[in-house]
Structure 1
């Protein structure tokens, strides 16, 4: 394979990986689940739907359970970000969790640099900003 072909193939691969990460983080229940899994040791699981709920936003648990089962969890599992058991409705880190976990870390470690419109109202980012600025 020529050097240019390798560069093109690598470019496509990394573009697809970034698309997968941003798709995974594009919905609040998925972000909350990633946050919940991030907060527990790598070998532990979390229960659902509780671990996919934003504490600031009221939610219909039955509707969320259906959305998780039919949409959010299959999407995250297809990318290898989570493993989940449909019978007990628990989730754990998948083999590719670090792809989303690292992006999660970077966003939260730079909370003081994010615009207020992305921080105010998110308890986790507000806490991170307070830690970083000493407020």
Structure 2
């Protein structure tokens, strides 16, 4: 595995992965083909109460946190998300989670 210069501490990386919604989003970006110009899109047109809470949490907590860490770039107008400039810092942890996915509880990922 290639060594990456890291500006974040392990605690900060684990904080970024500390909520299932952030892990799901970062994992989606991990498997996203970097050759594609498409971004992951957050659907804000859902009406279910639980889904609405999830979307509000994403827009007001999770996306800003991941953007502050530099792991994502978030276009608020189009709700498109792409890998940020610091995504390489968290990639090894995401790859480790993906490699051991079968050994982890379902709710972790």
Unaligned runs of 5+ in 1: 1-13, 51-58, 125-135
How far residue 123 of structure 1 moved from its aligned partner, in angstroms, is 9.5
Q: What is residue 23 of structure 1 aligned with on the other side?
A: 15
Change (3 A) 1:31 1:49: farther
| Aligned mate of 2:92, from 90, 102, 108 | 102
Please give the root-mean-square deviation of Cα atoms over the aligned residues, in Å. Answer: 2.7
Q: 1:24-103 alignment to 2 at 5 Å?
A: 24-42=16-34, 43-49=37-43, 60-103=50-93
Contact 2:41 2:80 survives alignment (8 Å): yes
Unaligned runs of 5+ in 2: 1-5
Question: Which portions of structure 1, spanning 4 or more consecutive aligned residues, are displaced by more than 6 angstroms?
Answer: none
Residue in 1 that maps onto 2:3? none
Output the TM-score relative to the length of structure 2: 0.75
Distance apart, 1:109 and its partner CA? 2.1
CA distance in 1, matches of 2:77, 2:20: 23
Distance change >3 Å, CA 122–CA 61, structure 1 → 2: closer
Question: Which structure would you say has the larger Rg?
Answer: 1
The CA distance in 1 between the partners of 2:77 and 2:59, in whole Å, is: 10
